């Protein structure tokens, strides 16, 4: 079965990439839905209906299937390489995977609310939420590539710097956007 390892790993990575693509884009659609909800009729209805359809297609045709397939191929890899479960970096990676699944499920909850025109988030807060998957992706990629050579202090500092930089970028964009609504 080890002769199939590289194929299974390739499929795992492909579906991780498409899963993240969905998780990167779905909050953008949420932002647009939230902003469309504030527009006057008929724009509100036309935009709202189109954005709901786009979100539904992204969520159920790309994001959910990719999440399931990425997870199935990951489990298959762990069956082929059970020694990985003894590695400390894998424990941390699986912690991030659990965090990613929680993020995914929260996005599903938000998706269901927005499909019913229940708006509980501002577009600004949703922009912040949108960066959650980015932080998880950076964490997992660095962890998997560097593995045992990870210096935990620098890793934590790096993720904090990334998170702060992303939040500052969002706030700067908001200031620019407030001055020029067409930006």
Q: Which residues are annotated as a binding site for heme?
A: 12, 93
What are the start-end ranges of the E strands in 19-58? none
Alpha-carbon span 148 to 8, nearest angstrom: 23
**Can you state the angle between helices 152-179 and 123-130, rounded to 10 degrees?**
150
Q: Helix, strand, coil proportions of the chain in percent (round to 5)?
A: 90, 0, 10
Residue 106 CA to residue 14 CA, distance in Å, equals 23
Residue located via tokens 């469309």: 36
Rounded CA-CA distance 175/181 in Å is: 10
Q: How far apart (Å, rounded) are the C-alpha atoms in residues 174 and 183?
A: 10
- List b or e across 20-45, with b for residues whose CB sees 16 or more CB atoms inside 10 angstroms: bebbebbbebbbbbbebbeeeeeeee
């Amino acid at each position: 079965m080890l002769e199939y390892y590289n194929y299974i790993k390739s499929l795992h990575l492909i579906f991780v990439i498409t899963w993240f693509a969905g998780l990167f884009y779905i909050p953008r659609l949420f932002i647009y839905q939230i902003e469309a909800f504030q527009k006057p009729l008929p724009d509100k209805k036309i935009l709202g209906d189109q954005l709901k359809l786009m979100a539904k297609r992204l969520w159920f045709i790309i994001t959910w299937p990719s999440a399931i397939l990425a997870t199935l191929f990951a489990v298959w890899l762990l069956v082929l390489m059970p020694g990985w479960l003894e590695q400390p970096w894998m424990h941390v990676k699986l912690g991030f995977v659990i965090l990613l699944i929680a993020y995914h499920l929260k996005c599903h909850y938000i998706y269901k609310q927005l499909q019913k025109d229940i708006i509980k988030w501002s577009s600004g807060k949703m922009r912040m939420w949108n960066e959650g998957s980015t932080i998880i992706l950076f964490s997992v990629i660095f962890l998997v590539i560097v593995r045992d050579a990870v210096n935990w202090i620098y890793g934590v500092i790096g993720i904090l710097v990334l998170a702060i930089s992303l939040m500052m970028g969002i706030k700067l964009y908001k200031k620019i956007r407030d001055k020029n609504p067409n930006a």
